[in-house]
Amino acid sequence: MPDGANLGLGCGNPTAIAGLQPGETVLDLGSGGGFDCFLAAKKVGLSGKVIGVDMTPEMIERARDNARRGGYVNVEFRLGEIEALPVADASVDVVISNCVINLVPDKARVFREIARVLKPGGRIMVSDMVLERPFPDWVRESAQGYVACVSGAVLREEYLRLITEAGLQGAEILEERDASDFFMDPKDPLVNQLLVGHPVEDIRGLVSSVSIQAFKPQSRSCCG
């Protein structure tokens, strides 16, 4: 991988369990420096295509530079927000995302956009943070918590419901692990700021890192 591609901000490895096949078109939401895009590019091959979408021009330029230096000719990066994807309807086989949807306030809109751009029969594989029970108000209101992917999280039941309500089927958690310790690293200054005056036990066991799969239904053929 080109230096600077892996920003270390993910909470899973969606490309590892997405079952990517040669020739598929993959869309990465919140592509950052391009790390997951480059992993996907190796799996879909030159007959396939990978599109990364990120909301910051600086990150898009970094990812494009990484692609040039790494010789990834089947990867492109587009500036845009994942609530309004710069991608055509029914043009993508697989949508991946690594700990990004959690940061978006309007998650329902994101999943509707995913359903729009997926081809019939296409699939999503997202890694993200979910809550096991509601956070205390002080975490919800914390800027440090939001930056650390905490205060934007929703309950796992709500996360799965939003996927289903967007028109996707078979939403299923394939992998999960307790992620509370990720937010309690005493060496992390953001964590120290977040926990000032509050007991660590308030957030222990509340957050899980999950990998979720779902599918867009096949189009119904007209029976005449």
In which band, very low, low, confident or very high, does the pLDDT at 9 lie, cut at 50, 70 and 90?
very low
Residue 145 lies in a domain: no
Residue 223 lies in a domain: no
Strands ordered across the beta sheet of 25-29: 75-79, 49-54, 25-29, 92-98, 118-131, 207-215, 169-178
CATH of the domain at 172: 3.40.50.150
Task: Report the distance separating Cα 151 and Cα 203, nearest Å.
Answer: 11
Residue 190 lies in a domain: no
Domain that holds residue 171: 14-129+155-177+209-215
Residue 144 lies in a domain: no
Cβ(205)–Cβ(181) below 8 Å:
no
pLDDT tens, position by position, 132-146? 988 777 666 665 665
Residue 60 lies in a domain: yes
Least confident of 26-30, 102-106, 161-165, 212-216: 102-106
Task: Report the distance separating Cα 142 and Cα 151, nearest Å.
Answer: 7
Q: What is the pTM assigned to this prediction? A: 0.84
Cα–Cα separations (whole angstroms), residue 178 to 11, 129, 140: 11, 10, 19
Q: How many domains does the chain have?
A: 1
Residue 120 lies in a domain: yes
Residue 51 lies in a domain: yes
3-class secondary structure, 34:
coil
Exposure pattern of 188-207 as b/e (b: 16+ CB <10 Å)? Answer: eebbeebbeeeeeeebeebb
pLDDT tens, position by position, 99-129? 899 989 999 999 999 999 999 999 999 999 8
pLDDT tens, position by position, 44-94? 999 999 999 999 999 999 999 999 999 999 999 999 999 999 999 999 999
Is the pLDDT score of 202 beyond 50?
yes
Residue 44 lies in a domain: yes
3-class secondary structure, 25:
strand
Q: Where are the alpha helices (DSSP H) in 71-123?
A: 107-117
